[in-house]
Amino acid sequence: MKLNRIVVVGGSIAALTAAETLRIEGFDGSITVLSDEKVPPYTRVPLSKSALAGRELEDDLTLPAMSDDVDLRLHTRAEGLDVHRRLVHTKEGSVPFDGLVIATGARARTVGHRRGGERVLRDIEHSRSLRADLATASSVLVVGGGFLGMEIASTCRELGKDVTVVDREPPLERLLGPLVGARIRDAARMAGVRIRVAAGDVELVGGKTPSGARIANDEVLEADMVVSAVGDLPNIEWLLGSGLRLNGGVHVDAWCRARPNIVAAGDVAVQAGPDGSSRRTPSWTNAIEQARAAAQALLRAENAAPYRPSHYYWTEQFGLDVKMVGPPGSDGTPTISEGSLDCPPALLEWHTSGTAYRVVALNHGIRPAKLKRLVPAHHSRSVLR
């Protein structure tokens, strides 16, 4: 079927990249982008860092504008999908398509405070709200010790706040392994952050807006401000009843296709692995790379190259710049191939059968492209099986 009208649903970097790629690949039909955001696409990377600290203005976060021949409709939420009649339903009416890119991303997961009102950080409005609250808070409790939670903790300490991080496991250990995780936790403690590992579930307490968290033995950790950073949930509710396979995200094949004329990319997409397993890869790099592959597949089907994630991640916190290629995990013991972990820069490599499947650079000047070349793509995928 010839594609004359392509609709992109989402206002993220994946949506912007997909629209740009369609034009680069020579698509000259109509492109309509439906975004439920009030502002044009922006980078989310600084939201927990320079934007939260007030060093970077919101206008500085805006990504390059889409070309004039792309119809960007802001504040337009997709509310349903009819795959047979090829319609995306919104409050403003139904938008027809020949090809569809689903790039609706994900929203912040919450701990589940019974009165709601949890502070989270996922979009520009969240960052604005947290920054305003920080102006009057002297203490902050961050629930969640992943990349985002620890970045928020780092920024809050930079702003002179009293900071505690609580999680059910040592922060960053599951993502980066015991050695690197411990090194970053040491840096956090040196910066004045208190780290608490809860023996079980963490329960938020307080009024409508949480004022603390209850952990084991009914101990309550209190703070002027509580921020939940416990992961995300893909935005797939608008697709219920569409007939697409939805289980933790939009399931796609190796070419990012949910159906021959429907692709998905970014945090909303779940891709089948070579062993039949499926997983989301919620990262900035994946959103860009997957959106390019999805747009190409929409135009060229299996004549396009199948998508192979690079599994590249990075974070900046407590004076440490961390870049990683390969699957997150705490397995194995790394070899320090360059420098020193105690006094970075350092380059750490995890090997199996003599080949690296994960590499972490700590305050190391290596460029991301070179870092990626240290981990053969096929080997990284085999470890994920």
Residues 36-81 have pLDDT tens digits of: 999 999 999 999 999 999 999 999 999 999 999 999 999 999 999 9
Question: Which residues lie across from 88 on neighbouring strands?
Answer: 81, 95
CB neighbours (10 Å) of residue 175?
21
**Same fold? 5-107+232-303, 110-228:** yes
* Average pLDDT over the chain, rounded to an integer: 93
Of the two residues 189 and 378, the one the predictor is more confident about is: 189
Confidence check: pLDDT of 382 > 50: no
Domain 110-228, what architecture?
Answer: 3-Layer(bba) Sandwich (3.50)
Q: Provide the pLDDT confidence category of residue 385 given band limits of 50, 70 and 90.
A: very low
CA distance 273 to 158: 40
Mean pLDDT of 259-268: 97
Question: Which residues lie across from 214 on neighbouring strands?
Answer: 203, 220
Residues 279-333 have pLDDT tens digits of: 888 899 999 999 999 999 999 999 999 998 888 999 999 999 999 999 898 888 8
Q: What is the pLDDT of residue 383?
A: 45
DSSP state of 215: -
* Helix or strand (DSSP H, E) at 16: helix 13-24
Domain residue limits, the chain: 5-107+232-303, 110-228, 319-384
What is each CA distance from 206 to 129, 135, 138, 376, in whole angstroms? 19, 21, 17, 49
Confidence check: pLDDT of 141 > 90: yes
Q: What is the pLDDT of residue 277?
A: 67
Q: What CATH class does 5-107+232-303 carry?
A: alpha beta
Mean pLDDT of 184-196: 98
What is each CA distance from 322 to 61, 191, 218, 355, 383, in whole angstroms? 22, 17, 36, 21, 21
Mean pLDDT of 176-189: 96
Percent of the chain with pLDDT over 70: 96
266 exposure class (CB count in 10 Å sphere: 0-12, 13-18, 19+): buried
Mean pLDDT of 83-100: 97
Written as one letter, the residue type at 44 is: R
